[in-house]
Amino acid sequence: MHADLSLARKLSAGDAEAFRSLVRAQHHRLILLATGFTQSRAIAEEVVQDAWVVVMENIDAYEGRSALSAWIAGIVVNKARARARKEQRMISFEAMADADGPAIAPEKFAADGHWADGMPAWEVVTPERLLGARQLLRKVAEALEGLPPAQRVAVLLRDVEGLEPAEICRQLDISEVNLRVLLHRARNRLREAADEDLRIK
């Protein structure tokens, strides 16, 4: 959090290059987050721009109680929900947690409930491995972008921005049970996307 407070102080002081770095790091995933509510990419881009304006004008209000990126993501969620309501595009996250089939296809398990394929090992994923892993990261990015909206929002807020479950439930107005269902499904899809590249053959 110390690094985030230091960054916030730079932004307060008008450090445009610090702001540029922040935009480069976070803008795309904020768009992915906003499309989970707005469905339309064009509307999501407007929502995220509006959220950046709130950040620019209110950075002095950031107190470091959460990560800066989580604070910004929360602003996007509020803006996106308000816009979706206005456009009458609201989706029920509760309903989306109930929809869809099982998170893992039943045929992945043997009749006795064990993993049918024994869960083959993956190559070791080191930071060095990641540097050259364009195909792997592209597959995971595509899987992330292809998630149903509610699953994408859940995994972005929890696993990418690091918000606590209770805070996510408050922001999305869903139960913790439904959040877990969304996360379970999303994480399994992301695992399957990575499995193609990382499974030791």
What is the smallest separation between the CB atom of 177 and other proteins, expressed in angstroms? Answer: 9
Ramachandran sector of residue 114 (left: φ over 0; alpha: ψ -120 to 50; beta: rest) = beta
CB 31 within 8 A of CB 44: yes
> Considering the rule CB under 8 A, would residue 173 count as an interface residue with other proteins?
no
Cβ proximity to other proteins, 16 vs 65, nearer residue? 16
Residue 163, interface with other proteins (CB under 8 A)?
Answer: no
Query: Of 67, 91, 167, 194, which one interacts with other proteins (CB under 8 A)?
Result: 194
Decide if 116 contacts 76 (C-beta within 8 A): no
Q: Are 113 and 168 in contact (CB under 8 A)?
A: no
Burial of 64-93, coded b for 16+ CB within 10 Å and e otherwise, reads eebebbbbbbbbbbebbbebbeeeeeebeb
As given in the structure block, the two tokens for residue 135 are 């195909």
Instruction: Tell me if 130 contacts other proteins by CB under 8 A.
Output: yes
How many chain residues bind other proteins (CB under 8 A)? 59
195 scored as a contact of other proteins (CB under 8 A): yes
Residue with tokens 């996510």: 168
Q: Contact region for other proteins (CB under 8 A) — 1-9, 20-28, 74-82, 91-99?
A: 20-28
Shortest gap between Cβ of 85 and other proteins (angstroms)?
25
Sign (positive or negative) of CA dihedral 102, 183, 26, 195: negative
**Binding status of residue 156 toward other proteins by CB under 8 A:** yes
Question: According to CB under 8 A, which residues from 89 to 128 bind other proteins?
Answer: 103-104, 109, 112-115, 118-122, 125
Q: How far is the CB of 90 from other proteins (least distance, A)?
A: 24
CB of 190 to other proteins, least distance (A): 4
CB within 8 A of 99, min separation 6: which ones? 148
CB 162, min distance to other proteins, A: 9
DSSP 137-197: HHHHHHHHHTS-HHHHHHHIIIIIS---HHHHHHHHT--HHHHHHHHHHHHHHHHHHHHHH
The contact set with other proteins (CB under 8 A) reads 11-14, 16, 19-20, 23-25, 27-29, 32, 45, 49, 52-53, 56-57, 103-104, 109, 112-115, 118-122, 125, 130, 136-138, 140-141, 144, 155-156, 158-160, 165, 176, 180-181, 183-184, 187-188, 190-191, 193-195, 198
